Chain A
Amino acid sequence: MTSQAQPGFWPPSGPEIVFLLLGVVALGSALLVVTTRQLVHAALWLVVCFGALAGGYLVLTAEFVAWVQVLIYVGAIVVLLLFGIMLTRAPIGRSADLDSGNRWAAAVVGAATAGVLVSAVVSGFHAAYTPLEPGRGTAGTLGSSLFRTWVLPFEALSVLLLAALVGAIVLSRTDIGARE
């Protein structure tokens, strides 16, 4: 950001090593999510991926976001997905037809996306450096920012969440039909 002397890419500092290890864990488990042949295992690998990302948030000093990630993603969303797997009577064991026939085209598109995005961000941000200072993402600072500056979107989002959950209930109840 500023033109102060930046440390080079080698040797990486301690937080960078930790972040890179967590990133490798997250990327590996994400690859297993999209390639595994067992539905339940995909949901469990998703837990690993989200946990590693929460660790990455902790390294990036965003500790409140990390705990929200653990609570909502790992605690709520993955459980919801597991409920969905169970309720659609998915085969618990290995199933051969989880990938569609166009997976090679999908792999090409994914690789092309990765190439474009990685080359763009590397050429754009290879010089960006910031020292990490703890305390920028605590619940106190984030809460005061949330309830001072961002309180209107926060309230709008609570209404959105309420509407989405009411909609989910209406969609999943069978005794509410269309109006004749």
Chain B
Amino acid sequence: MHIVYPVVVSALLFSIGVYGVLARRNAILVLMSVELMLNAVNLNLVAFDVWLRDRLHSGQVLTLFVIVIAAAEVGLGLAIVLAVFRTRRTVDVDRLRALSEYAAEYAAETGSGGGDRDGNGGGNGGGEAAT
């Protein structure tokens, strides 16, 4: 097996993940793209473990560790996304601008800021960012 094949597949998969993270607006789709990037790294690890014939199997063991960390990351990420959805009624990352330096201007542009259920979710973020 030429090592260049899995490594090139992995590089292309990573670039697709980069595109997905930058281009998608839905937070869950961004999480999926992050998973694609992690899988590209896993493929690299396995390929180099096979190439270098590591006696400690560090590449494959590290792949298992990355899979576990990805599971933890998705669990926490989805919990955060659901918490954001509860307060803001949207998971659109383009509209979550409460932490931006120009949050007040964005809120003025887009109106009510996504229709908060409890009314104070967007207001807090907008009020703090008086520049």
A interface vs B, CB < 8 Å? 1, 9, 13, 15-16, 19-20, 23, 26-27, 30-31, 33-34, 39, 42-43, 46, 49-50, 53, 56-57, 59-62, 64-65, 68-69, 72-73, 76-77, 80-81, 83-85, 87-90, 97-103, 105-107, 109-111, 113-114, 117-118, 121-122, 125-126, 128-132, 136-137, 141-142, 145-146, 149-150, 153-154, 157, 160-161, 164-165, 167-169, 171-172, 174
Contacts and interface: CB of A to CB of B under 8 A. Distances in A.
B67 A53 contact: no
Contacts of B52: 1
A161 to B, nearest CB: 5
Given A31-B16, A129-B2, A131-B1, 8 more contacts: A30-B13, A34-B24, A39-B26, A109-B18, A122-B4, A122-B8, A146-B57, A167-B76
A46 B14 contact: no
Contact of B17 (A15, A30, A50): A30
Main secondary structure on chain B at its contact with chain A? helix
B127 to A, nearest CB: 18
Contact of B67 (A68, A131, A136): A68
Contacts of A114: 11-12, 15
B64 A65 contact: yes
Interface residues of B, number: 71
Contact of B71 (A9, A76, A149): A76
Nearest to A45: B32
B41 to A, nearest CB: 11
Contacts of A80: 74-75, 78
